[in-house]
């Protein structure tokens, strides 16, 4: 195993703060490479002498990337990195979480980020000091026997660089993923853990080490799936990740955190050179060499085609797609703010007169529709294929006269608009979800990072506004298939004939692999019939608990004796005593002795029930009007709170009349164990003055999907 000369610590036998040996000559050489400040303010980078037990660790400065006695000038890498950080809107004082695996990519990210911060802030290089505002998180997926030892090794290496580091272990509550979904499941779990760590430490920026070769792999992968120009743009340079649990505080704006990929202009070879230039060791994940995984197969094929011309032309094509993506994103953002109104009940109204769909290119209108439908439904699956075409044709047919359901949304003409406005409401066909929130863990926790994220986004927008749109981006707007994009790129001179043929060959090879896999899945697919229950499905929500309904409404309820007592004016103690006894009785007959309520969507029967309550004069008339025996028994037991219930129903009906019928059906309501309506919080209906319920519209993902940059 090749060892880093001059710097080393032995974390197994010594305290982590004890520097055992320092080479003055090596320190000066490393300072030159990393472009650090003078030695008086240099953060020492310590390298481990730990000899791992597994050969899986031995790819540290392996021979294929070893360049003995050949100095690597780090200044160009440092300058490019600093420029990318400025483009992202980041400044050295911003606090950052680094996702670190220990491979050459993430170790290079650690080297460059540490140098960028120390060069700018001049942090003193003293023992036991970590670089301010920098946290590395090593995720141990637990999928290999060696993963724990690897994570500990990486932790020591990163810590020795002056970067605070922690290890997070994956918990596979439903069992470890199967081979066919291993990489995808590991990736999802990794981002979940990294995001959680960022929020826990109140840090608004997460950085990963994706580079240009990763973009090339993704380009070929999506090309084989016949992606359009937006998909071929690849990974965003900057994007927003949003919390799985929303902040419950009123002042929270829900900015989430920023995911930044500052190495997208660097190649894989650059990663190795940066590590070598910094005398930094790395580990290699053996699963990255397995041909079982699609990305690995593409990676190995691209390595075989790794001529400088092929690489540069492929990256030029990806850059052209990214410029097109930036242009489309900007147009859609403007249209969403100008032509769409979001109502507090959770539905959207499109003004077709402002949108002018006939004047928009298909790529722009399709993206606009996808963003709006994803927002209303809060389902982040992309709107594609037939669903996209269906809604595209519907919007283009102006004025709209019919209704359509697609991608979890119900679209119909807005009442009184004569088809010039379209309602977009949440469809009630999907399975109900109710996530339980902990107010103590979520309330007010994200406010501090939200302000920082806002400022970083503003900095990034200001930087990107300096660059004019390319005319090539306008030409790519008319291209609807991957084949046409490649042909146009060749016609424009972006791709040479040889590169064009190589890409076509890769596309066909991966397309065939994808088709054969799909056929296997379809042959083994078992169809299940779906049977719908006669009653509307619901989710149980106990009092004082907070539920997040369909990723859209924060719902909570409780019983309040004080509210019941103050709902009626009493002039003597006897009346007050009678009311207290009646309150206890009402509690049992409406909510039930078990104090349980369930959340479901509003149904048409709820409207009829409100109408019945609003017309009642005494309990006998209700018995005659209501057909459900359970509801009849409930109404016969309510005495003192009857007037309150009637008034609440009357007010609720007035408010519901102002909400379109399609939108009403997506409102959350509370019912008791017998299915009797207790509350419609969005319009203030409470069946009993003891009941206090609320439903606050707070979607997880904002309109437009958050900030994205494809610079």
Residues 462 and 598 in one domain: no
Domain assignment present for 356? no
Structure tokens given for 524: 């083994």
Residues 174 and 258 in one domain: yes
Check which CATH number belongs to the domain holding 263 and give it: 3.40.50.620
DSSP string, 499-520: HHHHHHHHHHHHHHHHHHHHHH
> According to the model, what pLDDT value does residue 380 have?
78
Domain assignment present for 501? no
Distances (CA, A) of 488 to 234, 482, 508: 18, 10, 18
Residues 465 and 611 in one domain: no
Per-10-residue mean pLDDT for the chain, 711 residues long?
34 31 31 36 35 40 52 91 97 96 97 93 58 95 85 95 94 77 84 93 96 96 93 96 73 79 96 95 80 83 87 95 94 97 97 96 96 93 88 92 94 95 93 84 64 93 81 79 94 95 92 62 38 63 92 91 45 41 47 82 94 73 44 48 86 96 96 92 91 93 91 82
Residues 201 and 281 in one domain: yes
Domain assignment present for 187? yes
Which bin fits 706, alpha (ψ -120 to 50), beta or left (φ > 0)? left
Residues 122 and 207 in one domain: yes
> According to the model, what pLDDT value does residue 65 have?
54
Residues 84 and 210 in one domain: yes
Last residue of a domain, one of 436, 470, 504: 470
502 vs 496: CA distance, rounded Å: 10
Domain assignment present for 279? yes
> According to the model, what pLDDT value does residue 446 have?
61
Domain assignment present for 52? no
**577 and 559 Cβ atoms separated by less than 8 Å:** no
> According to the model, what pLDDT value does residue 559 have?
85
240 vs 255: CA distance, rounded Å: 8
- Beta 134-140 vs 164-169: how paired, if at all? parallel
332 vs 343: CA distance, rounded Å: 19
Residues 466 and 607 in one domain: no
Contacts of 38 (CB under 8 A, 6+ apart): 31
> According to the model, what pLDDT value does residue 240 have?
94
Query: How much is the CA Rg of the chain, to the nearest whole Å?
Result: 30
Residues 96 and 184 in one domain: yes
Domain assignment present for 348? no
Domain assignment present for 567? no
Last residue of a domain, one of 442, 470, 498: 470
Residues 152 and 280 in one domain: yes
**118 and 112 Cβ atoms separated by less than 8 Å:** no
256 vs 248: CA distance, rounded Å: 13
Residues 457 and 555 in one domain: no
Contacts of 60 (CB under 8 A, 6+ apart): 1, 2, 281, 282, 283
Domain assignment present for 156? yes
Nearest of 129, 262, 252, 257 to residue 202 by alpha carbon: 257
- Which structural domain, as residue segments, surrounds residue 137? 73-289+450-470
Residues 122 and 263 in one domain: yes
Cis? peptide before 399, omega within 30° of 0: yes
> According to the model, what pLDDT value does residue 11 have?
34
Q: How many domains does the chain have?
A: 2
């Amino acid at each position: 195993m090749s060892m880093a000369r001059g710097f080393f610590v032995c974390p197994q036998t010594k305290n982590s703060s004890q520097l055992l040996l320092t080479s003055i000559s090596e320190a000066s050489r490393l300072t030159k490479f990393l472009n650090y400040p003078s030695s008086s303010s240099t953060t020492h980078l310590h390298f481990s002498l730990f000899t791992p037990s597994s050969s899986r660790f031995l790819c540290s400065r392996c021979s294929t990337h070893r360049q003995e006695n050949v100095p690597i000038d780090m200044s160009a890498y440092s300058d490019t990195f600093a420029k990318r950080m400025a483009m992202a809107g980041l400044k050295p004082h911003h606090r950052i979480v680094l996702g670190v695996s220990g491979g050459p990519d993430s170790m290079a990210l650690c080297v460059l980020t540490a140098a960028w911060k120390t060069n700018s802030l001049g942090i003193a290089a003293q023992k036991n000091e970590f670089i301010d505002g920098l946290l590395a998180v090593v995720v141990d997926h637990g999928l290999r026997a060696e993963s724990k030892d690897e994570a500990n090794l990486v932790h020591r290496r990163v810590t020795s660089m002056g970067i605070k580091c922690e290890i997070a272990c994956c918990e596979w509550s439903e069992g470890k993923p199967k081979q066919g979904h291993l990489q995808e499941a590991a990736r999802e779990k990794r981002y979940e853990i990294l995001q959680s760590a960022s929020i826990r430490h109140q840090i608004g920026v997460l950085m990963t080490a994706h580079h240009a070769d990763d973009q090339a792999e993704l380009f070929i992968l999506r090309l084989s799936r016949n992606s359009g120009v937006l998909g071929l743009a690849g990974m965003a340079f900057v994007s927003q990740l949003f919390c799985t649990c929303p902040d419950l505080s009123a002042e929270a704006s829900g900015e989430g955190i920023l995911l930044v990929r500052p190495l997208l202009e660097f190649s894989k070879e650059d990663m190795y050179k940066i590590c070598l230039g910094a005398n930094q060791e790395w580990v290699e994940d053996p699963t990255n060499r397995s041909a079982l995984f699609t990305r690995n197969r593409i990676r190995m094929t691209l390595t075989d085609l790794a001529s400088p011309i092929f690489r540069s032309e492929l990256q030029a094509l990806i850059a052209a797609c990214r410029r097109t993506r930036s242009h489309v994103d900007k147009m859609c953002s403007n249209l969403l703010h100008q032509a769409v109104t979001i109502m507090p009940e959770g539905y959207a109204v499109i003004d077709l007169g402002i949108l002018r769909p006939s004047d928009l290119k298909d790529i722009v209108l399709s993206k606009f529709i996808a963003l709006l439908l994803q927002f209303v439904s809060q389902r982040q699956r992309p709107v594609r294929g037939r669903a996209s075409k269906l809604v595209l044709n519907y919007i283009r047919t102006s004025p709209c006269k019919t209704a359509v359901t697609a991608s979890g949304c119900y679209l119909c003409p807005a009442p009184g608009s004569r088809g010039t406005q379209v309602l977009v409401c949440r469809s009630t066909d999907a399975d109900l979800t109710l996530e339980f929130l902990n107010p103590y863990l979520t309330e007010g926790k994200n406010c501090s990072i939200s302000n920082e994220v806002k400022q970083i986004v503003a900095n990034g927008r200001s930087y990107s506004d300096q660059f004019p749109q390319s005319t090539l981006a306008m030409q790519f707007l008319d291209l609807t298939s991957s084949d046409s994009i490649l042909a146009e790129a060749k016609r424009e001179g972006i791709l040479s004939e040889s590169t064009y043929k190589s890409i076509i060959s890769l596309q066909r090879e991966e397309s065939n692999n994808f088709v054969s896999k799909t056929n296997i899945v379809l042959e083994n697919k078992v169809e299940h019939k779906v049977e719908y229950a006669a009653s509307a499905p619901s989710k149980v929500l106990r009092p004082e608990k907070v539920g997040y309904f369909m990723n859209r409404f924060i719902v909570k309820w409780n019983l309040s004796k004080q509210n019941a007592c103050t709902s009626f004016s009493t002039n003597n103690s006897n009346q007050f005593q009678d009311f207290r006894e009646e309150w206890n009785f009402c509690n049992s007959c409406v909510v039930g002795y078990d104090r349980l309520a369930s959340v479901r969507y509003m149904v048409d029967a709820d409207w009829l029930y409100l109408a019945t309550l609003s017309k009642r004069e005494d309990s006998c008339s209700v018995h005659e009007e209501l057909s459900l025996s359970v509801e009849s028994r409930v109404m016969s037991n309510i005495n003192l709170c009857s007037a309150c219930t009637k008034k609440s129903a009357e007010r609720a009906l007035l408010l519901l009349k102002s909400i379109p019928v399609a939108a009403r059906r997506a409102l959350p309501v509370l019912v008791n164990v017998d299915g009797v309506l207790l509350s419609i919080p969005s319009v203030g209906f409470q069946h009993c003055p003891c009941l206090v319920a609320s439903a606050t519209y707070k979607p997880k993902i904002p309109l437009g999907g958050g900030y994205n940059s494809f610079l």
